[in-house]
A and B are shown apart, each in its own frame.
Chain A
Amino acid sequence: MSGISWFVGKRILQSIVTLFVLLTLLFFMFRILPGDPTTMFVDAALPVEAQEAVLQQFGLDKPLSEQYWLYLKNFVQGDFGISFTSREPVVEVIGHYILPTMMLMGFTILVALLIGVVFGALAAWYRGTKFEAAIVSVALFFKSAPIFWVGMVALALLSYTLNLFPTGGMYEPGKESTGFFQTYMNLDFLHHLILPVIVGSLYYIANPLLIMRSSMIEVMEEDFIEMNRAKGLKESTIMFRHAMRNAMLPVVTEIALLIGFAIGGQVLLEVVFNWPGIGRLIVEAIQRNDYPVAQATFFLMGFIVIVLNLFADLLYGLLDPRVSYK
Chain B
Amino acid sequence: MNVTKESTTEGESLIETTAGLSDETKVREIELYVTTPEYDPIRYELGLMVSEEWKKLGFDVKVTPLEWNRLSELGMQQKDFDAFTLAWAGRAERIDPDHFVYSTLHSSQAVEGAYNIPGYNNPEFDKLAELQRTLSDPDERREVIHQAEEIFLEDLPYAPIMHRDQVMAFNKTNFTNVKYMLGEGLNSFWTFMNLEPTGERKEVRWGYPSDIDTLNPLVSTNTHDFQVTRLMYDRLVRISENGEPQNWAAEEINDVNKDGMTYEVTIRQGMKFHDGEPVTAEDVKFSFDFVKEVQSPFFLGMVKPIDSVELVDEYTVRFNLKEPYAPFISNTLAQMYIFPEHYWQPIFDQGGATAVLEHTNEDIIGSGPFKLDYWTRDQEMKMTRVDDYFSPAKVESILSIPYANTQSMVAAIDKGEADIGGWWIEPIQIDNLKKNENIEIINVPDPGFYHINYNMRREPFDDKAVRLAMSYVIPKQRILDEILEGYGTMAHSFIGPSNEFWYNENVGSFNYDAEKAVGFLKEAGYQWDENGKIHSPE
Which of B69, B72, B358, B411 is A167 in contact with, Cβ under 8 Å?
B411
Q: How far is the CA of A47 from the CA of B354 in the complex (A)?
A: 21
Query: Which residues of chain B in 388-428 are interfacial with respect to chain A, using CB atoms and an 8 Å cutoff?
Result: 399, 401, 403-405, 408, 411-412, 415, 417-418
User: How far, in angstroms, from A96 to B381 measured CA to CA in the complex?
Assistant: 14
B223, CB-defined interface residue at 8 Å: yes
A30-65 contacts to B, CB under 8 A, are 33-36, 38-54, 57
Alpha-carbon gap, A51 to B354, bound state (A): 16
Which of A87, A177, A271 has a CB less than 8 Å from the CB of B405?
Answer: A271
Of B10-18, B214-222, B527-535, the stretch lying at the interface with chain A is B214-222
A85 interface neighbour in B67, B214, B304, B378, Cβ under 8 Å:
B214
Given contacts A41-B297, A173-B417, contact A47 B221 (CB under 8 A): no
Q: In the complex, how many angstroms separate the beta carbon of A39 from the nearest chain B beta carbon?
A: 5
Bound Cα distance from A176 to B73, whole angstroms: 41
A236 on interface, CB distance cutoff 8 Å: no
Q: B404 touching A45 by the CB < 8 A rule? A: no
A276 at interface by CB-CB < 8 Å? yes
Q: Which of A206-251 contact B (CB under 8 A)?
A: none
- B272 in contact (CB, < 8 A): no
CA distance A113 to B370 in the complex (A): 48
Q: Residue B77 at the A interface, CB < 8 A?
A: yes
Is B76 a contact partner of A42 (Cβ separation < 8 A)?
yes
* Of the residues B205, B357, B360, B418, contact of A57 by C-beta under 8 Å: B357
In the complex, which of the residues A36, A173, A275 contacts B401, with contact meaning CB atoms closer than 8 Å? A173
Any chain A CB within 8 A of the CB of B28? no
Output the least CB separation between A93 and chain B (Å).
8
C-alpha spacing A38/B115, complex, angstroms: 13
**Among candidates A34, A96, A170, A276, residue contacting B69 with C-beta atoms closer than 8 Å:** A34
Contact of B219 among A42, A87, A169 (CB under 8 A): A87
Query: Residue of B at shortest CB range from A93?
Result: B377
CA distance in complex: A51, B301 (Å): 10
B-chain residues with CB within 8 Å of residue A33 when the two chains form the complex: 69
Q: For A107, what are the chain B residues with a Cβ–Cβ distance below 8 Å? A: none
A86–B113 contact, CB under 8 A? Answer: no
**For A284, what are the chain B residues with a Cβ–Cβ distance below 8 Å?**
210
A177 & B408 in contact (Cβ 8 Å cutoff): no
Assess whether B295 is in contact with A57, with CB atoms less than 8 Å apart. Answer: yes
A34 and B358 in contact, given A48-B114, A96-B377, A174-B380 (Cβ under 8 angstroms): no
Structural contact, B69 and A287, CB atoms closer than 8 A: yes
B527 to chain A, nearest CB (A): 39
Is A137 interfacial (CB-CB < 8 Å)?
no
- A149–B447 CA distance with the chains assembled, in angstroms: 37
B213 part of interface (Cβ distance < 8 Å) = yes
A113-153 at interface with B (beta carbon < 8 Å): none
Q: Is the CB of A177 within 8 A of B376?
A: yes
- Point out the residues of chain B lying under 8 angstroms from A44, CB to CB: 221-223, 298
| Contacting residue for B404 out of A34, A270, A289, CB 8 A | A270
Residues of chain B from 353 to 372 with CB closer than 8 A to chain A in the complex: 354, 357-358, 360
Q: Which residues of B contact A47 (CB under 8 A)?
A: 114, 300-301, 304
In the complex, how many angstroms separate the beta carbon of A193 from the nearest chain B beta carbon? Answer: 14
Q: Is the CB of A176 within 8 A of B374?
A: yes
Residue of A nearest to B72 (CB): A39
Determine whether A82 belongs to the interface, using a CB cutoff of 8 Å to chain B. Answer: yes
When the two chains form their complex, are residues B73 and A34 in contact, meaning their CB atoms are under 8 A apart?
Answer: yes
CA of A106 to CA of B478, assembled, Å = 51
The reply to whether B72 and A178 contact each other, CB–CB distance below 8 Å, is: no
A184 at interface by CB-CB < 8 Å: no
Interface: B382 (CB within 8 A):
yes
Residue B203 is within 8 A (CB to CB) of chain A in the complex: yes
Complex contacts, B304 vs chain A, CB 8 Å = 47, 49
A119 to B55, CA, bound (A): 60
- Given the known interface contacts A43-B223, A173-B399, the answer about A88 and B378 at a Cβ–Cβ threshold of 8 Å is no
Which of B214, B297, B378 is within 8 Å of A46, CB to CB?
A: B297
The answer on a CB contact under 8 Å between A271 and B404 is yes
Interface flag for B434 (CB, 8 Å): no
**Least distance between A197 CB and chain B CB atoms (Å):** 17
Residues of B within 8 A of A86 (CB): 213-214, 360
Look across to chain B and name the residue whose beta carbon is closest to the beta carbon of A152: B407
Given A40-B222, A42-B115, A46-B301, 5 other A-B residues pairs in contact with their CB atoms under 8 A = A36-B73, A43-B222, A53-B295, A97-B377, A274-B404
8 A-B pairs closest in CB distance: A35-B69, A276-B378, A34-B70, A47-B301, A50-B297, A53-B295, A271-B404, A48-B113
Chain B residues near A (Cβ < 8 Å): 67-70, 72-74, 76-77, 89, 99, 103, 111-115, 203, 205, 210, 213-214, 216, 219, 221-223, 295, 297-298, 300-301, 304, 354, 357-358, 360, 373-374, 376-380, 382, 399, 401, 403-405, 408, 411-412, 415, 417-418
10 A-B pairs with CB atoms under 8 Å apart are A34-B67, A34-B70, A36-B73, A43-B222, A46-B300, A47-B301, A49-B301, A50-B297, A272-B404, A287-B68
